[in-house]
Amino acid sequence: MSDALRLIGFALGGEAGARTATQLGLRTSPDTLLRIVRGSSVMGTVTPRVLGVDDWSYKRGQRYGTILCDLERRRVVDLLPDRSAESLTAWLRAHPGVEVISRDRSSLYAEGARQGAPAAVQVADRWHLMKNLTEALERILQRHHTELRQAHQQMATVTADLPPTAAGQPAPTLDTALVSPILSKLQY
């Protein structure tokens, strides 16, 4: 039974794991599942080459830990008891060989990685790359809102004057002489 609870805890976490275990006839609490997960030896002694670092919540909004993942093998390597630079530094010093650290924008993790594995390359994880890209694109579009509105109005006027296309014929293209002045106003 404890092996089943351990697997459920690793796969689903506390709350979802406890609900699933109860449906399978294994009565347990979310805290028990998390205690089993924390007490398990997660991986062998293999130090990952590419390490993912992120925070996770023991109790949402109140207590956080750090989860370390081997991104090449897609496995959890370790769970640290807190979200601090000191614990990440200590783990990295005890496990030399990490070459790449994928992390969020937290200055705590940046400092812990810098101190614990100074030769490792730090990169943003995919979620934060997309978030950074979204924020940059929003700033550009907000800065050029007036020009984009004018371009849209000019394009609507030009396309309204174009004859309708017959089936099988390519749609007419806009003359670059009309579009170039609009695009040249957009400075990135």
pLDDT in tens, 31-60: 988 888 877 765 455 789 999 999 888 777
Q: Indicate whether 175 belongs to any domain.
A: no
Predicted structure pTM score: 0.56
Q: Indicate whether 27 belongs to any domain.
A: yes
Query: Using the 8-state DSSP alphabet, how is residue 170 labeled?
Result: P
Q: Which of 174, 172, 179, 175 is nearest to 147 (CA)?
A: 179
Domain that holds residue 11: 1-40
Q: Indicate whether 45 belongs to any domain.
A: no
Give 54's strand partners: 67
Q: Indicate whether 103 belongs to any domain.
A: no
pLDDT given for residue 60 in this prediction: 77
- Average pLDDT on 14-31 reads 90
Query: Using the 8-state DSSP alphabet, how is residue 21 labeled?
Result: H
